[in-house]
Structure 1
Amino acid sequence: MSGRDRVLGRIRRALGEQGAGEGGIGRAPGEPGAGEGGIPRDYLRVHGDRTPAESADLLAANLAEYRAKVHRTDEDGLAPLLAALLAERGARTVLVPPGLPPSWLDAAQAVRVEDRAGSTPYALDAVDSVVTGCALAVAETGTIVLDGGPDQGRRRITLIPDHHICVVRVPDQLVDSVPQALERLDPTRPLTWISGPSATSDIELDRVEGVHGPRTLEVVLINPPAQ
């Protein structure tokens, strides 16, 4: 038996399929022809019981561990904060997704650049910064999830510019765990999972940032209005 046959056999057993044809991987449980067997999902869905504030603190700590820069503000302070971050970066141009709320950049001095279908990678690389929203953030892993929504734009605009500022609404866009995130995400959308700035290490563990995406990731957590 070849290695391929062993792998496919394990997949058939995991899916509960009986008698799948040669080269097939069987059907998912619940589909016509699938067996009664299923994959046990007895792992913990979340590790610990947290308040929204504690979840936000955990997200911030994990993002910082990944060398992302974390900022906190409220709705009124968002525009001044974004303007300050862009100015501190020295950004002369900022890439803007089509559905980004215009008020977010009301105070910014940088020239807004729209993502166009004809924009080349070279043109996007010439932009200093990009500002987006997000689909979700995962506290336990310090992960930001983008799904190509109107305030996020196409995947390429968050991978080519060297500086990405991402805004997360707390607690509406914050979940504790990956299983909770998967329940809220649409698997048919182009999902991008970001845990800190893009980085890699060679065999000697020398860290190099900015290889597969932005060299600098800044995350702004918007706190809800005080009650």
Structure 2
Amino acid sequence: MTARNEVLQRIRAALGPVPDQVDVPRAYRMGSGRPPGDPQLVELLVDRLLDYRATVVEAADGDVASALAEILADVDGVVLHAPGVPLQWVTGVDVVPDDGRDARALDAQVAAAVTGSVVAIAATGTIVLDGSPTCGRRALTLVPDIHICVVDRHTIVETVPEALARLEPTRPLTFISGPSATSDIELSRVEGVHGPRTLIVILA
């Protein structure tokens, strides 16, 4: 017997017999059965977002461009949008496509970013981006001080499992629950440390 085998044998003896593997119940709660975009889910998402100090704007008749133009009237500086957002969102609005500038330039030169989203979770007030052309690259949504995110109400589901079932797990997923905020040991809240100080959600 080698020294290695002797050591392993002593470890096995010390650990004792290995118990049989026990099946863990996997009957997780998936949701209430409400379809995506149900008015109650929309109301719940808005309630959560407001509680997280986000701003929620309803796009009348789905007119995202008008809602966006009204928001940007109070924004001073360059505004970039994710390259794959629908053209009707930005037609007639003073925004330009993301040109790939690095994080330092985004911080110094860009006031706000406009993106879409892939799914929203009403129960947690969370919006998910997947790095697709509509959602944009991660730096675009984390570095500028203002993130304006368009959420299609038909992509609002109730629970996290429902959202995960709609996502491609190999994509670079970003889960956003309100503006960036952190607290020190004395619970002093500071916003904008790890991401945008302001989150504005346009419900389309």
The bucket for the TM-score relative to the shorter chain is: 0.7 to 0.9
Q: Which runs of 5+ in 1 are unaligned?
A: 17-36, 223-227
Q: How far apart, CA to CA, are the structure 2 residues paired with 1:108 and 1:61?
A: 28
Q: If you compute each CA radius of gyration, which structure gives the higher value, 1 or 2?
A: 2
- Over 3 Å counting, the alpha-carbon distance change for 1:182 and 1:204 in structure 2 is same
**Following the alignment from structure 1 to structure 2, what is the Cα–Cα distance between the partners of residues 207 and 149?**
32
Verify: 1:112 aligned to 2:96, yes or no: yes
Taking a change above 3 Å as real, the CA distance of residues 100 and 221 of structure 1, as seen in their structure-2 partners, is same
Quote the residue 2:112 is aligned against: 129
Aligned to 1:69: 55
SS at match of 2:110: coil
CA RMSD of aligned residues (A): 2.3
Alpha-carbon distance in structure 1 between the residues aligned to 2:61 and 2:77: 24
Deviations 1:83-104 (A, max 9, x none): 110112x233111211112221
From 122, 146, 152, the counterpart of 2:129: 146
Runs of 4+ in 1 over 2 A off after TM superposition: 48-51, 74-77
- Between the two proteins, the alignment pairs up a number of residues equal to 186
**What does 1:65-214 align with in structure 2 at a 5 Å threshold?**
65-88=51-74, 90-109=75-94, 111-116=95-100, 119-125=101-107, 126-171=109-154, 173-214=155-196
1:148 is matched by which residue type in structure 2? Answer: G
Contact 2:58/2:67 (CA < 8 Å) preserved in 1?
Answer: no
Q: Which has the higher contact order (CA 8 A, sep 6+)?
A: 2
Q: Would the alpha carbon gap of residues 183 and 38 (structure 1) be closer, same or farther in structure 2, given more than 3 Å must change?
A: farther
TM-score (norm 2): 0.84
**TM-score normalised to the size of structure 1?**
0.75
Unaligned runs of 5+ in 2: 1-10
Distance in 2 of aligned mates of 1:13 and 1:96 = 56
